[in-house]
Structure 1
Amino acid sequence: MLKNQLQRWAIGRFLLEVEDSNEVHILNRRDADKRLDMLHRLSVLRAALFGLISGMFVVFVALWLHEWEGSDGWNAYSFFFAIAIAGFLSTSFELIFIYGDSLKTAARMAKVLGIPDDELQKLDLEESIPHWLIHAALGAPGFQGTMFGIDPLAHIGKLGMVIRKLLKKFRIVVSATLFKSIIRRMWVQLIGRTALRAFVELVSLPIFVLINVLGMNTMMRDMRSRLVGHELTPSLLEHTFPEGLEHLSPALHQAIYDGIQEQITSARFIHPNQIRILKLIGNPRPKGQPISADEQRRASRFLLAMFALSGRLSYRCRRIIRRLEANLGEKEVSLVESEIEAAIYDLEPFNRPWT
């Protein structure tokens, strides 16, 4: 299939970027964090530049077409159609450059973090770092197929499945182009003067530059979470359960597994950091004694940390977080969330005992 071929091509490009990158593994965590922050900021600036160039192209087309408006065969609808075509082309090239640049930046980040080459070259779905980085670049939150016996869409219902299939028919390029065109057209109609159309195009530039900045910033944060998760997920397990997973009671082990499963079915996707955790904890063991209050608190703390590691949250996930807050208290929730944030985006180690 074309989709699989494109995915293999993108993975190949990512691995080639890793091989050709001049970045080196920075052992000092503070220096590594500074370098990652710099790569992040540069990618956001480039995305803003791509948006500016794309918008300027549409402005140029609008100025050129304005000279022809009113001629035979040209009316407001012809103008709108021509601008839509120009927007489609410019947005297509804009997204290609942004996606390519984000993968190149992710490859450089992987070198800075010192992720081993053999880990980067794994292509199995459960372990493929490039696969999940490509998902992040395309704005896809995670895997929606059954994995480890967990179906993310188990609670979606038939109507929900139909709606999701319909929504997948729309592509990013088309939606972005129409969104830009509709906004510009609305502004023109409100102003009510054809002569100001090109000016409206120019005024709208900062909005779409800002959209690119916000979108790239979110994308790079998600990529960084997925890259750091390679090292952070086993560290999180060790910090939360220093006695080792093999010494956990069956009730606590089951609570962890059930909590991760609930997160996945609520978010409707499996995040790569959740995949790593599920591989590490294994299948739940037969229950013995019921879970104690202390064990439930430890499980809640770990599950809250996993929420912070697992990307965008839906309103359904926030209901679970409120339940965890009731068990842990607002102060503990704030501490755990800030610690995970620092671990991902500042490369800070876990120092406070979670007991």
Structure 2
Amino acid sequence: MKILVTGTAGFIGHHLAKALVERGDTVVGIDNINDYYDVELKYARLADAGISRHAENWYEKVQSETYPDYSFIRMNLEDRERLMDLFKTEKFDKVVNLAAQAGVRYSIENPHTYVDCNIVGFLNILEACRHNNIKHLVYASSSSVYGNNKKMPLSTSDNVDHPISLYAATKKSNELMAHTYSHLYNISTTGLRFFTVYGPWGRPDMAMFLFTDAILNDRPIKVFNGGDLYRDFTYIDDIINGIISTLITDAKKTYSIYNIGNSKPVKLTDFIEEIEIQTGEKAIKEMYPMQPGDVEKTWADVEDLKSDFNYLPKTSIDIGVERFLYWYNNYYCLS
């Protein structure tokens, strides 16, 4: 298949693009390479997939030197005309939309960025799919849509009408917009609610990266809510397997929403302890109260994804941390 993957300079998008071309698909990746976090890490991800530094240039199609069936274009989802031209030129079979402005806390300080990218950009994707006969759109939602729901594990049948961050609100909006387009235009859409993804090439603003970087550089780590937080840490390989399974299989319904997580929540203090054990270093902990927009616990009910697509997360937290540390040490030349 020929597949558009948005957000391929990002963490999940990078891994997905490589996995798809390695299984024989043709992939066009797009990303705006914004400066929400270190752009050098984004360029390094692209380089890992054979995309040269020419990716700095806007709208220039850059061919991978490693994968003949992978190319990259720097562009914004908000650029409606260019996005529509891309769809018309490339004639994609399917689309995976992972591009978004991420981060719960950042959304409190930069709300307009989230509306521009996550809502306007997603509308442009839906319109491009509508007018170009796209067989299936898979898109990233988030566990943050559950807000402070207390019933565990979190299920897609739960009410998600009370988001507690603008980021979560934009992701809930994406699900509603996808439902509308599935209903009106018979477009197959599948939303995946990601639960705390981690692993090699991960985002620097996420716990795995933040804690490791601080511990190895003798800096204190911020521990919110006294460490009494639980996250359904999900290793990147399990996430990628789940995305590909939903993408390549004929959609069960025109409109679908699934949780994609590990379904084994880990207490934050235990997660920190695992990093301490594997690095041989002790964390300097600074305790902070609960942050606005954060939730106390995430725990994914993934039975629907297991039933429909044989999804089976299998990477334990100790193995996942070990693999991240191996990448981190090599990336920063520490080993």
TM range (shorter): under 0.3
Q: Where is the strand percentage greater, Structure 1 or Structure 2?
A: 2
Q: Where is the helix percentage greater, Structure 1 or Structure 2?
A: 1
